[in-house]
């Protein structure tokens, strides 16, 4: 039996957690989710039952929403899970959020967006914990594909019933870039950081390159050389993370080439527009 501890905080997160509790055993019958129906945050400490369940847990899932991701309790519970299981076995599932919305301690955990391919990876990780009960790849693929539409429909229904609208980004591009620049400076000051295995997700690198592309477009629209400098700096930071940290180059190299080529074209067009006709 593989025990899965599902952490939540807040009414919306609770409903998502309840759906996961009911759905996970449909795909992996050996998985036994634990979900407390009460919001423990209202109490002063964990009950003995929850402490016992945590000690028996193989995988931890943290249900994050825009309403709860900064709540002290969700941070505390995620930290407690990682202490017992290690960060590699704790994953935050993002409902109505993007990985770049996160900040602080939660950025150190694996994140799963609630979309088919990403969620399948999470379920595959749980399957890997099944030992002798683990499903072979073909069986797992077939069972997941059969049950995924049911979960997707349930989660969509919750969003619709709560009239949850997509709000503006929780973190501005400036905040994200400042955090990445800070990480870069820390790594530059400490060459041994590479050996400790820091990890930056390909998604974060892709976001960097997307911002660089947007800044390049603004530079072209306004014929502004000064904007090309920060755009290129973002590309350099992305390249730094690819070359020195745990980023598979193939996942973002094509995007890197596209942005680099685009910035070169922007510079050429700005230069052409600045020529004085005789």
Q: What does pTM read for this prediction? A: 0.58
**Cβ-proximal residues to 69 (8 Å cutoff; 6+ apart), any chain:** 97, 101, 102, 106
- Pairwise CA distance, residues 118 & 124, whole Å: 10
- Cα angle 113-119-120, degrees, rounded to a multiple of 5: 155
Q: Give a yes or no: residue 127 inside a domain.
A: yes
pLDDT at site 97: 86
- Is residue 42 scored above 50 in pLDDT? no
pLDDT at site 152: 96
**Do 63 and 114 contact (CB within 8 A), yes or no?**
no
**Cβ-proximal residues to 105 (8 Å cutoff; 6+ apart), any chain:** 75, 78, 79
Q: Which of 138-152, 178-192, 229-243 has the highest mean pLDDT?
A: 138-152
For residues 223 and 270, membership in a common domain is answered with yes
Per-residue CA distances from 51 to 31, 56, 90 (Å): 19, 9, 16
Per-residue CA distances from 194 to 66, 90, 200 (Å): 32, 22, 12
Q: For the residues 54-66, what does the mean pLDDT come to? A: 87
Each residue's pLDDT tens digit, 187-218? 455 544 444 444 556 666 776 777 778 778 87
Which pLDDT band holds residue 179 (cuts at 50, 70, 90)? Answer: low
For residues 149 and 189, membership in a common domain is answered with no
How many H helices and E strands in the chain? 9, 5
Q: Give a yes or no: residue 96 inside a domain.
A: yes
CATH number at residue 151: 3.40.50
For residues 15 and 94, membership in a common domain is answered with yes
**Do 99 and 68 contact (CB within 8 A), yes or no?**
no
- Is residue 53 scored above 90 in pLDDT? no
For residues 147 and 202, membership in a common domain is answered with no
- Pairwise CA distance, residues 44 & 21, whole Å: 25
Residue 78 tokens read as: 């995620």
Domain that holds residue 137: 2-161
Each residue's pLDDT tens digit, 221-270? 878 777 787 778 778 877 776 776 555 555 567 778 888 898 999 888 88
């Amino acid at each position: 039996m593989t025990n899965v501890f599902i952490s939540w905080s807040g009414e919306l997160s609770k409903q998502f957690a309840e759906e996961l509790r009911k759905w996970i055993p449909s795909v992996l019958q050996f998985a036994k989710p634990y979900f407390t129906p009460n919001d423990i945050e209202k109490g002063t400490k964990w009950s003995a039952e929850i402490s016992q369940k945590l000690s028996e847990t193989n995988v931890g899932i943290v249900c994050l929403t825009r309403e709860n991701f900064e709540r002290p309790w969700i941070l505390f519970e995620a930290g407690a899970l990682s202490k017992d299981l290690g960060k590699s076995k704790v994953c935050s599932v993002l409902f109505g959020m993007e990985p770049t919305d996160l900040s602080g301690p939660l950025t150190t955990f694996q994140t799963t967006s609630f979309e088919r391919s990403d969620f399948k990876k999470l379920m595959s990780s749980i399957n890997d914990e099944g030992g002798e009960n683990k499903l072979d790849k073909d069986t797992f693929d077939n069972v997941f594909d059969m049950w995924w539409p049911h979960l997707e429909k349930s989660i969509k229904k919750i969003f619709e019933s709560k009239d949850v609208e997509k709000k503006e980004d929780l973190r501005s591009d400036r905040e994200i870039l400042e955090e990445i620049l800070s990480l870069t400076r820390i790594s530059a000051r400490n060459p041994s950081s590479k050996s400790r295995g820091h990890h930056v997700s390909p998604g974060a690198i892709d976001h960097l390159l997307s911002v660089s592309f947007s800044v390049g477009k603004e530079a072209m629209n306004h014929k502004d050389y000064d904007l090309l400098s920060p755009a290129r700096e973002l590309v350099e930071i992305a390249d730094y993370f690819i070359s020195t940290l745990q980023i598979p180059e193939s996942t973002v190299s094509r995007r890197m080439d596209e942005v680099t080529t685009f910035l070169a074209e922007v510079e050429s067009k700005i230069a052409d527009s600045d020529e004085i006709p005789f």
